[in-house]
């Protein structure tokens, strides 16, 4: 039997969500108004923590985390093209550089992860329940 961390398919989704969380934290901190306000940084920490917790759950092979990752990737594949379309069309909204950078990172990564997360192999790999009864 292989070690859980050497199992194919565990590291890549977990690494993506960990990197996504850290990228979110870094970009929001860079774009936060100066002097630094508490609320934007608190939101950035919350978003980063969500990504890191999801990555930890994926490494622990929790089935609920696979489902959340699947929904996140589906939402990203629908949302990011719409947001970038509005930005490129010159819609009267404010778009920060962080939004464009995150979309360029998340859209292709979610497009690559989605087929794996939907596969029977992933269903067999992420088989642990969140709570054991």
On the question of pLDDT at 15 being above 90, the answer is yes
Residue 75 covered by a domain: yes
Range of 43's domain? Answer: 4-125
46 within domain boundaries = yes
Nearest alpha carbon to residue 99 among 22, 34, 23, 12: 23
Residue 133 lies in a domain: no
Residues of the chain above pLDDT 70, percent: 93
Long-range contacts of 30-39 (CB under 8 A, 24+ apart): 30/98, 31/96, 31/97, 31/98
> Per the structure, how many domains does the chain have?
1
Q: Is residue 103 part of a domain?
A: yes
In a domain, 58, yes or no: yes
Gap between the Cα atoms of 107 and 85, Å rounded: 13
**3-class DSSP state of 32:** coil
Residue 131 lies in a domain: no
Whole-prediction pTM: 0.84
Is the pLDDT confidence value at 1 over 50? no
pLDDT 10s digits, 24-83: 999 888 887 778 777 778 888 999 999 999 999 999 999 999 999 999 999 999 998 888
Report if residue 42 sits inside a domain. Answer: yes
Residues β-bridged to residue 128: 62
- Whether residue 132 lies inside any domain: the answer is no
């Amino acid at each position: 039997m292989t070690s859980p961390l050497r199992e194919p398919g565990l590291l890549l989704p977990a690494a993506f969500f960990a990197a996504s969380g850290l990228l979110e934290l870094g970009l929001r901190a860079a774009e936060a108004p100066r002097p630094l306000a508490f609320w934007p940084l608190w939101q950035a920490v919350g978003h980063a923590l969500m990504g890191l917790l999801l990555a930890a759950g994926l490494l622990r092979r929790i089935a609920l985390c696979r489902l959340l990752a699947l929904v996140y990737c589906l939402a990203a594949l629908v949302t990011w093209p719409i947001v970038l379309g509005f930005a490129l069309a010159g819609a009267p909204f404010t778009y920060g550089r962080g939004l464009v950078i995150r979309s360029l990172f998340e859209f292709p990564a979610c497009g690559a992860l989605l087929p794996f997360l939907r596969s029977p192999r992933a269903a067999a790999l992420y088989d642990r329940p969140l709570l054991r009864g």
